[in-house]
Amino acid sequence: MIHRPASSRRHFLQQSGLLLGAASVAGLPSFPASATAAVLPAPGMPAPSFVHTNGIQLALYQQGEGVPIVFCHGFPELAYSWRNQIGAFAAAGYKAIVPDQRGYGLSDRPSEINDYAAVNLVDDLAGLLDALEIDKAVFCGHDWGGGIAWMMPRYHPDRVLGVIGVNTPAFHPQHPRKPNDLIIRSDRYYTLTFQPPGVAEAVLEKDVRRTFEFFLRRGGMWNVDRFRAYPEDSPVRRLDLLTLVAQGNFEGELILQPNELEYFVRTFEATGFTGGLNWYRAAAAGTARTDLVWDIDVPCLYIGAEHDVVLPPSSADGMENYIADFERHTVADCGHWTQQEQPAEFNRVALDWLDRKFPAS
């Protein structure tokens, strides 16, 4: 582990109330007062611990020693989305740190949309490192977690060893992406229908099992070739996810075993989806700091998936223009949920890169 000595930054965080310490628990936890008692620890993972950071309490799972890797999940996911990584990375000589992020699972779920602005999401992770007395870490993020992982070296460059972005590329205001020609934009595009408070919740929470049976799939409409074959005015090509969930479009196959599906369902039945949806709402309402340096000067790896219809591998084109040490890899025969769909291949690629850039001690 890379330990962080007492420093002016730590003193500042303590004085400002952003760092309140860490609390570990053995076995089943004594749940924080703000957590829903019905939310259980993730099965098959180490017992969770809780840290106070940036004014909230985060639950996290830890395993291993060595160079720290912070795994950041996306929507609608949990720390449990990294269940196939935590043990493998620990066994390879790394310290795996896997939080339920703000708004999810066992972690706190603040009520205000602005609580989910990017500055709060990155500050959560910087404060997590302080609570664990870690100076720097590699940040590995998928989907929304990838977006936050790419923002860490921009907001907190002195806390980042490297970045692994999974499906989500690093965006840059001076380097616009090519449009995704698979998706026909309309007012029914999912990020737009997620904006009005309560609207998406009414659909997603009506039958949480059906919601996850729709989302966490591979093949069918989640295959690029099949997706392209749909009519341009269809809910599929418009990525009108709320309509598709309501219709119960279950093409393809689940990527989850029955017990894995059960954990996602039970957790979101207890927490609802508002916390995760507020990430979208805050992103639409807010703006990034104007003083950010957007070029990234730490080693970075982008892992894309051949059949991701939302974030195709081509969305990473041009990242080498603003990341000096940049590598990329595309996982074949894989859709959006890369580390869950193809865990062995994901682990192989990520650990090979880590072994070359940050060899386990």
- Active site residue ranges: 143, 280, 336
Query: Which amino acid makes up residue 42?
Result: A
Query: Which amino acid makes up residue 123?
Result: D
Residue 36 burial class via C-beta count within 10 angstroms: exposed 0-12, middle 13-18, buried 19 and up: middle
**Residue appearing with tokens 């009414």:** 202
Query: Could you give the CA distance from residue 126 to residue 334 in angstroms, rounded to a whole number?
Result: 32
- In degrees, rounded to 5, the angle at the alpha carbon of residue 36 between the alpha carbons of residues 39 and 89 is 40
Region of residue 167 (left: phi > 0; alpha: psi -120 to 50; beta: else): left
- Which residues, listed in sequence order, are joined to residue 333 by a DSSP beta bridge? none
252 and 48 Cβ atoms separated by less than 8 Å: no
Query: Could you give the CA distance from residue 292 to residue 338 in angstroms, rounded to a whole number?
Result: 30
Using alpha carbons, select from 351, 354, 307, 300 the residue that is nearest to residue 330: 307
Q: What are the φ/ψ torsions at residue 244 (nearest 5 degrees)?
A: -65, -40
Residue 37 DSSP label: T
Query: Which amino acid makes up residue 135?
Result: D
Tokens for 352? Answer: 């090979």
| CB contact set of 187 (below 8 Å; sequence gap of 6+) | none
122 and 137 Cβ atoms separated by less than 8 Å: no
Residue 296 DSSP label: B
Query: 111: how many CB neighbours lie within 10 A of its CB?
Result: 8
